[in-house]
A and B are shown apart, each in its own frame.
Chain A
Amino acid sequence: MVRQQPLTLATPVIPSAYNNLDTVLKQIRSGLDNGVQQSFQNVDTIHYLRLVLLEAQPPDESGNSYPAKFVLGTDYDGDEDAQLTALATTCGDFIDKLYENCEGYPDAANRNPATRKAYLEKWRVKASAFFAGAPGRTLVQIRKENELREYILNLIRNGKWGSQSAKEIHAAIKTDVLSKTEFQWARESVKLPKENWLGMALLGLILLVLLPFIIIWILVIHFLYERKDKALGLTSSQIDGAHIRKLEEYEDFHNQNQFTQLLIMKPGQIRLITLMGLMLFAKSLVKNLFVKGKLMGIPTIHFARWLLMDDQKRMLFFSNFDGSWQQYLGDFIDKSGWGLTGIWSNTVNFPPTRFLFTGGAYDEEHFLAWSRYYQIPTAVWYCAYPNLSIKNVMNNTYIRNELMLNTTEAEAQRFLNRF
């Protein structure tokens, strides 16, 4: 199974070139909006690409300041080295026009795939946790499986099925598809990840053993930290409307959307360790449990990542999801408010929490306002399959696999109702 992975590069921007980079980003965005092919679209391993400009931040209350940074993120198939090579080779022009505005990029005379790659490698930031909605599905596979689904849908729609049973119809479709040279790949079924209950049991056991320690930890957080925490305390109407309008400018054009949040960690090692612990926990859940298109019950997320940067003082969160912001954030509260609260309450100004996992996101009005407050504009966003929801992606793979089965009547019926 080919793995999907997150690539994140965070690069300091030359202060005097910030505006130029901003202009370049706007050009790329308008190019994409108007259907101008970009070189990275030729890389057939990139599911999503996003470019974000982080403004320079003057010193905050704790005296931390941050220079302007440029962040490139992709969700890709295969290994990181190949992804970097593809960016440095296939997308040389694209990389050059972006990174020539960043610190230390090779001079025009010294730009080649090798120097580009060496440069990009320097700025990698490792994700603390990563979620893929349809693990193992490569971009090429997603595209092929959708073609297969469309082909079969047409067969079903145009067929004269008379009184044939589901099993007979399934068999007829199978024969037709397998007679086509372009669908020979469908003969091979793909192995899909399953929940690993043994792994979950092990995780449960570990948590059980650690329980006394975890309880003490949460009590310490509650009595020594949470009670002193400050919250943003604003509702949506009290947030700068211009900020939200700017975010909305890039939302709801397609059936998918993106979410980029830049958060500041609460000071102190205990918060950092809490977050790291929760990231570890999230990672094992993603690996063992959330392998069928849902992240903590949320059925609309294609990819999501959390990462720490700037000496672990700031957290960046990216996600690509189906539907609107309102649905997405609402789902977070409705389905995984506790998990969300556990992770995000380690960042400043989160709505007041009690015992790490309660309060917080469940304070709907303040949570939604907080969420928009820390969301930042994504400068450029690209999705290789804007017309497929994560449920569509999953369903298409089931179709491919079920096509090859020697089905019972019930299985054939389930197959046919997938269209």
Chain B
Amino acid sequence: MEKLEEADIQGYIVRGYKHMMYSRYVMLHVTDAAAAKTFLKDISGSITNVTHFPKSNCLNIAFTAQGLRALGMNEENLSNFRREFYEGMTTPHRQRILADYDSSAPEKWRWGGPNNEEAHILLMVFGADEATAINYYKQLEQQFLAAGLKNVFELDGQTLPFNKEHFGFRDGISQPLIKGSDRKGPEQDYVNAGEFIMGYKNEYNVFPDTPILTKDQGNMSDLPYDPMGTGKKDIGRNGSYMVMRQLQEDVDGYWTFMNEKTKNDDGSMNVQESVKLASKMMGRWPSGAPLSLYPDADPAGDNKEVDYYTAYFTYQDSDKEGLKCPFGSHIRRTNPRDAFEDNGVEKSFKLTRRHRIIRRARLYGQPFAGSPTNHKPETEVGLMFTCFNADIGRQFEFISYTWANYPKFLQLYNDPDPVSGIREVCPPGTEQTFTIPAKPVNKYITGMKSFVTVRGGAYFFFPSITTINYLTTI
């Protein structure tokens, strides 16, 4: 097993900073490249790497392609990054892949879109609590403002108890674990480091594509050589690609829909059925307990057993026909585990491991966990979806298109992912449904609605500490 060069890898890929309850993400625009590089040099020693376990604060940093260009990176070198990153999230083709239409269209985004001021550098500032985070942020703010870096967007994030998101479901569970890191979990979830971090072998047992320097620039002496053997210096090693999407959650619309679809014959609300329908769509109960193990009711609560089984479960033995956890549910399609199409168990796990992402969502807006009877938050709420992968096309975009947005998933006809794949305006000549396998006849939820709107997004490069230092010299 390859050993990770932990001191060179930014911490947020490997650790979720669970104890950092508050975060502020700020997108900076470079107005003076030289001053910006000085700022980077000043903070480079404070960036949290995998060997650090800070008690009060963490700091990580990421760059958009425009950001690297603004710092002065040679265009040919920049074009050696993965095309998804180089072109960005908002090309017409990528808009189709990610289904960013209607209210989610990039033209309407608050950041990262064609009508927004370019976001160049992302600072991710974490604190054990709000005051600690903001204090640390204020120090950094003085520095970056003095360096001519303009704040074009900021969003504060929080973590709710039991890691609930605003619809009321536990989030961030059953993550892939990087082989060679100290994280513990089910055997099947250990994934070769190269799926997330460049410079290591991926699940095809080859090195992932990595940005190499084909034009000499800056002080390249500390940079490693490309493992593929091109003889060029590699700025990707120990770095990753980070996907970020701001997703607004319409909690009121969500629970109103569930309540409406499950109301009693006399028109009254059926709380139990409403929760069950929402859980069928998610594939988990609000507690995170998987339906394929707990088909009838939420075992709920802070229960050690449930906790364990949020990650340790499979489909082929307990739920082959989808009678417990529907084939079209969010978690069954975005992580098929041992049931990847009709492959056997081992092959399924192997293929599934080629399409994993490490997720790091943080909530914004009022801390609020919805339910059938409590679904009117006082502010806009949502989450800052963040994930890491080494191949955006094969991982994040594949999961988004082939598994979530694609209505023909498995043997289905008109069923996009009920949680994340429903289009606001249904494509002409089609319908959007959710099919719940049942006996003797399936249940069909028709007229599915979208309750998630994309408010911003970008692909970032999440470099190694070595590369951050290199960037200060270009």
A and B from one assembly?
yes
Give the interface of A toward B (CB within 8 A).
156-157, 159, 161, 164-166, 169, 235-238, 241, 244-245, 248-249, 251-253, 255, 299, 322-324, 326-327, 330, 333-334, 362-366, 387, 389, 391-392, 395, 412-413, 416-419
Please indicate the chain B residues that have their CB under 8 angstroms from the CB of A253 in the complex: 96
Please indicate the chain B residues that have their CB under 8 angstroms from the CB of A299 in the complex: 341-342
| Contact A413 B87, CB 8 Å, known A237-B82, A299-B341, A392-B413 | no
**B321 and A417 within 8 A (CB):** yes
| B267 touches A (CB below 8 Å) | no
Please indicate the chain B residues that have their CB under 8 angstroms from the CB of A366 in the complex: 206
Please indicate the chain B residues that have their CB under 8 angstroms from the CB of A392 in the complex: 408, 411, 413
CB distance from B319 to the nearest CB of A (A): 14
**A248 and B93 within 8 A (CB):** yes
Closest chain B residue, CB of each to CB of A325:
B393
Please indicate the chain A residues that have their CB under 8 angstroms from the CB of B206 in the complex: 363-366
| Contact A166 B402, CB 8 Å, known A237-B211, A387-B429, A391-B410 | no
Q: Which of B3-11, B293-301, B377-385, B438-446 contacts A (4 or more CB under 8 A)?
A: B438-446
**B407 and A324 within 8 A (CB):** no
| B307 touches A (CB below 8 Å) | no
**B80 and A391 within 8 A (CB):** no
| B12 touches A (CB below 8 Å) | no
Please indicate the chain A residues that have their CB under 8 angstroms from the CB of B407 in the complex: 255
4 interchain residue pairs of minimum CB distance: A364-B204, A166-B440, A389-B408, A248-B93
| B145 touches A (CB below 8 Å) | no
CB distance from B7 to the nearest CB of A (A): 27
Please indicate the chain B residues that have their CB under 8 angstroms from the CB of A161 in the complex: 440-441
CA distance A336 to B230 in the complex (A): 29
Please indicate the chain B residues that have their CB under 8 angstroms from the CB of A391 in the complex: 408, 410-411
Q: Interface of chain B, helix or strand or loop or mixed?
A: loop
| B228 touches A (CB below 8 Å) | yes
**B398 and A326 within 8 A (CB):** yes
CA distance A253 to B93 in the complex (A): 9
CA distance A255 to B97 in the complex (A): 11
A-B contact count (CB 8 A): 113
| B79 touches A (CB below 8 Å) | yes
Q: Interface of chain A, helix or strand or loop or mixed?
A: helix
**A237 and B406 within 8 A (CB):** no
| B208 touches A (CB below 8 Å) | yes
CA distance A395 to B408 in the complex (A): 12
| Contact A236 B209, CB 8 Å, known A161-B441, A323-B402, A333-B204 | yes
Please indicate the chain A residues that have their CB under 8 angstroms from the CB of B393 in the complex: 236, 326
**A237 and B441 within 8 A (CB):** no
Closest chain A residue, CB of each to CB of B440:
A166
Closest chain A residue, CB of each to CB of B400:
A324
| B88 touches A (CB below 8 Å) | no
Closest chain B residue, CB of each to CB of A239:
B83
1/0 contact trace for B433-461 toward A, CB 8 Å?
Answer: 00001011110101000000000000000
Further 12 A-B residue pairs, CB within 8 A, beyond A161-B441, A299-B342: A156-B442, A169-B441, A236-B82, A241-B79, A241-B83, A252-B96, A323-B402, A323-B408, A326-B394, A326-B398, A330-B354, A330-B394
CA distance A159 to B342 in the complex (A): 31
**B354 and A334 within 8 A (CB):** yes
CA distance A251 to B155 in the complex (A): 34
| B401 touches A (CB below 8 Å) | yes
